[in-house]
């Protein structure tokens, strides 16, 4: 024992000497000083300054302490008391789809169906006959006046078809769980009054059985498949140019919003191949955590080959099976519920991906050390997922710390709430959904069920779950600030509050967007807080979102977004 302790102190002295030696040589590439730096690092939760070298944080402390690391080549930024936080991590989004939508008609802020028809009419003028016109982001409940005529609150295709007789038109619902098509697109997809509803979807019809243009859930795939065939028929170089543009646009959109890492919830192996090429080139602008969404037959012998962690200098990780959706969205009455919708009593929603496919994926995931991140919006979908996950965990008691996720987790039955912490399953919420869905959730679920089971942010946290956060772009705008605001206020646009007992505190909301998202991607050792040794992924904000009054949170601007010590965005340099 004595010898051992001598040895220990000898090693201790050696370590001190080595670290003193290093310190003499240590210098910073970049320093932020004069900040209110919230580190989320328990040992030093708030500091004034931090130093970065070779992409990583090397020291945090007072201005004086950090000043010692400055040399002639160090870039020093005085952040002037502004708030410095760990870079926001988008916990659930669709990276390439975000890029793609940025090249399409943006229907998010229209006030009526009439306005959409006018936008398409204008697009028709600039589009060759036979080419597709694609739009996204509409939601009938956001329109100031209902369409006339309408069925179940939805428009009929005739006016759209009249102004675009030769161009197929595909308008994707903001939820991502339905699309609207004109006559030309319906014709290309062979959808007539004789076409049966596909499993897990619905061709919405008028009283005489004619399709009105709205295609719910898997029914939209009938048209989307035709659009994909058209896209794939383009020359390869045109396709690649398009993909590079999408990466650029999606990255810019994320980075200008203070996001330093993006968790993509479902891409094809082809997309991964393309992104790996960019990672090899060193041209990926933002860190990506990718989930694979192909079905289990395709993934079966590919998982091993595609698993990669921190590829290309920490810019590309693939270790998740995601996007598979067990059910649809609440907005389109697709979320799979235990009891029927209050405003559509004939329906409990849909099971979209067959349960046995999810079970096969779960088996593959556990075998190949992949995470599962499956969408469960309704309380029945969440229960089925808990059951599948629990079964997989029980069969593999040697596998620990699996961190499987239920994406969205919008409606949770009280009996299932404790299962998050019991099983170590992570609810992948989107703070912003409480505000964007808030106006109609009570219609869908009824007051009592909405209160008991809907958007249970605080109850999840108090049950011991690690609550992660995001905005699900392009379903919602990729704005962590707005999502943060909604998580802490749950204030709706009419000034009312959507079950305020479920708000998060400011710090809880910040954690949900940074360190918790890092944890949910097994990256909490390398990012999510500002501590020495971690990536220098940092966001600087114009307002202190931890203390400003609620009504000033939205005024907050991103001043700097820094990834791996490199300034990727600065409002000051524009
Ligand atoms: Zn999503």
Picking from 348, 323, 349, the residue whose alpha carbon sits closest to that of residue 334 is 349
**438 and 364 co-located in one domain:** yes
Per residue in 98-109, pLDDT (tens digit) is: 999 898 999 989
Question: How far away, in angstroms, is 363 Cα from ligand 1 center?
Answer: 23
Question: How far away, in angstroms, is 245 Cα from ligand 1 center?
Answer: 21
**499 and 352 co-located in one domain:** yes
Question: How far away, in angstroms, is 246 Cα from ligand 1 center?
Answer: 17
Q: What total number of domains does the chain contain?
A: 3
Asked whether 103 and 246 are in contact (CB, 8 A), the reply is yes
Mean pLDDT calculated for residue range 446-458: 98
Question: How far away, in angstroms, is 40 Cα from ligand 1 center?
Answer: 27
> Is the pLDDT confidence value at 574 over 80?
no
Question: Residue 7 falls within a domain, yes or no?
Answer: no
**416 and 463 co-located in one domain:** yes
Reduced to 3 states (helix: H, G, I; strand: E, B; else coil), residue 546 is coil
Work out the percent of the chain whose per-residue pLDDT is above 70: 95
Beta bridge mates, 52: 30, 57
Query: What values do phi and psi take at 176, rounded to 5?
Result: 80, 10
Comparing 56 with 18, the larger pLDDT belongs to 56
Question: Residue 467 falls within a domain, yes or no?
Answer: yes
**464 and 551 co-located in one domain:** no
Question: Residue 424 falls within a domain, yes or no?
Answer: yes
Question: How far away, in angstroms, is 242 Cα from ligand 1 center?
Answer: 22
CA angle at residue 81 from 545 to 536, to 5 degrees? Answer: 80
Of the listed ranges 2-6, 138-142, 190-194, 305-309, the least confidently predicted one is: 2-6
> Is the pLDDT confidence value at 279 over 90?
yes
Question: How far away, in angstroms, is 328 Cα from ligand 1 center?
Answer: 11
Question: How far away, in angstroms, is 74 Cα from ligand 1 center?
Answer: 41
pLDDT in the model for residue 25: 62
Question: How far away, in angstroms, is 497 Cα from ligand 1 center?
Answer: 25
Question: How far away, in angstroms, is 83 Cα from ligand 1 center?
Answer: 30
Mean pLDDT calculated for residue range 309-314: 97
Per residue in 374-420, pLDDT (tens digit) is: 999 999 999 999 999 999 999 999 999 999 999 999 999 999 999 99
| Domain span at 547 | 26-87+528-574
Domain boundary among 232, 258, 289: 232
pLDDT in the model for residue 418: 98
The crossing angle, in degrees rounded to 10, of helices 480-489 and 506-513 is: 140
Question: How far away, in angstroms, is 472 Cα from ligand 1 center?
Answer: 5
Phi-psi region of 282 (alpha: psi -120 to 50; beta: other; left: phi over 0): left
Mean pLDDT calculated for residue range 176-196: 96
pLDDT in the model for residue 329: 87
Question: How far away, in angstroms, is 2 Cα from ligand 1 center?
Answer: 59
Picking from 195, 153, 158, 161, the residue whose alpha carbon sits closest to that of residue 178 is 153
Question: Residue 13 falls within a domain, yes or no?
Answer: no
Per residue in 533-573, pLDDT (tens digit) is: 999 999 999 999 999 999 999 999 999 999 999 999 999 75
Q: How far apart (Å, rounded) are the C-alpha atoms in residues 442 and 142?
A: 16
Question: How far away, in angstroms, is 176 Cα from ligand 1 center?
Answer: 8
**151 and 244 co-located in one domain:** no
Q: How high does pLDDT run on average in the chain?
A: 93
Question: How far away, in angstroms, is 323 Cα from ligand 1 center?
Answer: 7
Question: How far away, in angstroms, is 167 Cα from ligand 1 center?
Answer: 28
Q: How far apart (Å, rounded) are the C-alpha atoms in residues 484 and 505?
A: 10
**336 and 481 co-located in one domain:** yes
Write the CATH number for 304: 3.20.20.140
Task: Tell me whether residue 336 is exposed, middle or buried, using C-beta atoms within 10 angstroms of its C-beta: 0 to 12, 13 to 18, 19 or more.
Answer: buried
Domain boundary among 232, 256, 280: 232
Question: Residue 401 falls within a domain, yes or no?
Answer: yes
Write the CATH number for 226: 3.10.310.70
**479 and 550 co-located in one domain:** no
Mean pLDDT calculated for residue range 333-353: 94
**Banded pLDDT at 2 (limits 50, 70, 90):** very low
Question: How far away, in angstroms, is 98 Cα from ligand 1 center?
Answer: 11
Q: Count other Cβ atoms within 10 Å, centred on residue 90.
A: 30
Question: How far away, in angstroms, is 137 Cα from ligand 1 center?
Answer: 13
pLDDT in the model for residue 197: 97
Question: Residue 6 falls within a domain, yes or no?
Answer: no
Question: How far away, in angstroms, is 401 Cα from ligand 1 center?
Answer: 24
Question: How far away, in angstroms, is 395 Cα from ligand 1 center?
Answer: 29
Question: How far away, in angstroms, is 235 Cα from ligand 1 center?
Answer: 29
Question: How far away, in angstroms, is 514 Cα from ligand 1 center?
Answer: 19
Question: How far away, in angstroms, is 265 Cα from ligand 1 center?
Answer: 6
**331 and 207 co-located in one domain:** no
Question: How far away, in angstroms, is 396 Cα from ligand 1 center?
Answer: 28
Write the CATH number for 552: 2.30.40.10
Q: How far apart (Å, rounded) are the C-alpha atoms in residues 479 and 473?
A: 9
Mean pLDDT calculated for residue range 433-458: 97
Task: Tell me whether residue 273 is exposed, middle or buried, using C-beta atoms within 10 angstroms of its C-beta: 0 to 12, 13 to 18, 19 or more.
Answer: exposed
Question: Residue 2 falls within a domain, yes or no?
Answer: no
**366 and 266 co-located in one domain:** yes
Question: How far away, in angstroms, is 321 Cα from ligand 1 center?
Answer: 13
Question: How far away, in angstroms, is 490 Cα from ligand 1 center?
Answer: 21
Question: How far away, in angstroms, is 92 Cα from ligand 1 center?
Answer: 6
Per residue in 195-253, pLDDT (tens digit) is: 999 999 999 999 999 999 999 999 999 999 999 999 999 899 989 999 999 999 999 99
Question: How far away, in angstroms, is 162 Cα from ligand 1 center?
Answer: 33
**443 and 365 co-located in one domain:** yes
Question: How far away, in angstroms, is 320 Cα from ligand 1 center?
Answer: 14
Question: How far away, in angstroms, is 417 Cα from ligand 1 center?
Answer: 22
pTM equals 0.85
Question: How far away, in angstroms, is 177 Cα from ligand 1 center?
Answer: 10
Question: How far away, in angstroms, is 573 Cα from ligand 1 center?
Answer: 33
Question: How far away, in angstroms, is 63 Cα from ligand 1 center?
Answer: 42
**Banded pLDDT at 5 (limits 50, 70, 90):** very low
Pairing mode, strands 259-267 and 201-205: unpaired
Question: How far away, in angstroms, is 228 Cα from ligand 1 center?
Answer: 19
Distance of CA 62 to the CA centre of its chain: 35
> Is the pLDDT confidence value at 10 over 80?
no
Per residue in 19-72, pLDDT (tens digit) is: 444 444 689 999 999 999 999 999 999 999 999 999 999 999 999 999 999 999
Question: How far away, in angstroms, is 330 Cα from ligand 1 center?
Answer: 13
Question: How far away, in angstroms, is 175 Cα from ligand 1 center?
Answer: 9
**Banded pLDDT at 474 (limits 50, 70, 90):** confident
**70 and 137 co-located in one domain:** no
């Amino acid at each position: 024992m004595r010898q051992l302790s001598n040895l220990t102190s000898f090693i201790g002295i050696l370590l001190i000497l080595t670290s003193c030696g290093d310190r003499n040589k240590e210098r910073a590439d970049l320093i932020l000083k004069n900040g209110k730096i919230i580190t989320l690092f328990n040992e030093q939760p708030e500091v004034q300054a931090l130093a970065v070298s070779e992409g990583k944080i090397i020291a945090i402390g007072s201005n004086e302490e950090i000043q010692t690391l400055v040399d002639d080549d160090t870039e020093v930024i005085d952040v002037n008391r502004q708030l410095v936080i760990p870079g926001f991590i988008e916990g659930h989004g669709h990276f390439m789809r975000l890029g793609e939508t940025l090249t399409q008609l943006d229907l998010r802020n229209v006030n009526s169906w009439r306005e959409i028809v006018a936008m398409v009419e204008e697009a028709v003028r600039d589009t060759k006959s036979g080419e597709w016109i694609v739009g996204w982001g509409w939601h009938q409940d956001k329109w100031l006046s209902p369409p006339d005529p309408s069925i179940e609150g939805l428009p009929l295709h005739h006016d759209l078809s009249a102004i675009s007789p030769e161009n197929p038109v595909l308008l994707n619902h903001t939820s991502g769980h339905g699309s609207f098509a004109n006559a030309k697109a319906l014709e290309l997809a062979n959808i007539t009054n004789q076409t049966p509803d596909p499993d897990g979807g619905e061709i919405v019809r008028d009283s005489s059985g004619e399709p009105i243009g709205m295609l719910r859930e898997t029914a939209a795939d009938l048209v989307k498949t035709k659009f994909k065939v058209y896209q794939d028929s383009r020359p390869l170089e045109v396709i690649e140019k398009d993909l590079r543009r999408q990466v650029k646009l999606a990255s810019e959109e994320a980075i200008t919003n203070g996001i330093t890492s993006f968790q993509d919830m479902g891409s094809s192996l082809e997309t991964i191949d393309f992104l790996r090429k960019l990672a090899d080139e060193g041209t990926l602008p933002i860190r990506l955590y990718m989930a694979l969404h192909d079905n289990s037959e395709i993934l079966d012998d590919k998982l091993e080959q595609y698993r990669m962690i921190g590829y290309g200098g920490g810019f590309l990780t693939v270790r998740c099976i995601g996007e598979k959706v067990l059910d649809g969205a609440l907005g389109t009455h697709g979320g799979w519920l235990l009891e029927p919708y209050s405003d559509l009593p004939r329906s409990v929603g849909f099971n979209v991906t067959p349960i046995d496919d999810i079970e096969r994926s779960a088996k593959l995931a556990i075998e190949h050390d992949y995470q599962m991140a499956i969408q469960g919006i309704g309380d029945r979908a969440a229960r089925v997922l808990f059951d599948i996950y629990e079964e997989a965990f029980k069969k593999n008691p040697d596998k620990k710390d699996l961190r499987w996720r239920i994406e969205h987790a919008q409606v949770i039955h009280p009996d299932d709430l404790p299962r998050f912490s019991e099983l170590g399953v992570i609810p992948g919420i989107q703070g912003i959904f409480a505000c964007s869905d808030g106006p109609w959730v009570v219609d869908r679920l009824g007051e009592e069920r909405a209160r008991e089971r809907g958007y249970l942010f605080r109850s999840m946290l108090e049950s011991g779950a690690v609550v992660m956060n995001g905005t699900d772009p392009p379903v919602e705008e990729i704005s962590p600030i707005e999502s943060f605001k909604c998580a802490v206020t749950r204030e709706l646009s009419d000034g009312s509050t959507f079950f305020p007992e479920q708000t998060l505190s400011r710090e809880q909301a910040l954690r949900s967007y940074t360190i918790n998202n890092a944890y949910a991607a097994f990256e909490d050792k390398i990012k999510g807080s500002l501590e020495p040794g971690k990536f220098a992924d940092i966001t600087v904000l114009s307002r202190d979102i931890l203390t400003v009054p609620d009504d000033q949170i939205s005024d907050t601007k991103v001043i700097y977004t820094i990834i791996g010590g490199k300034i990727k965005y600065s409002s000051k340099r524009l």
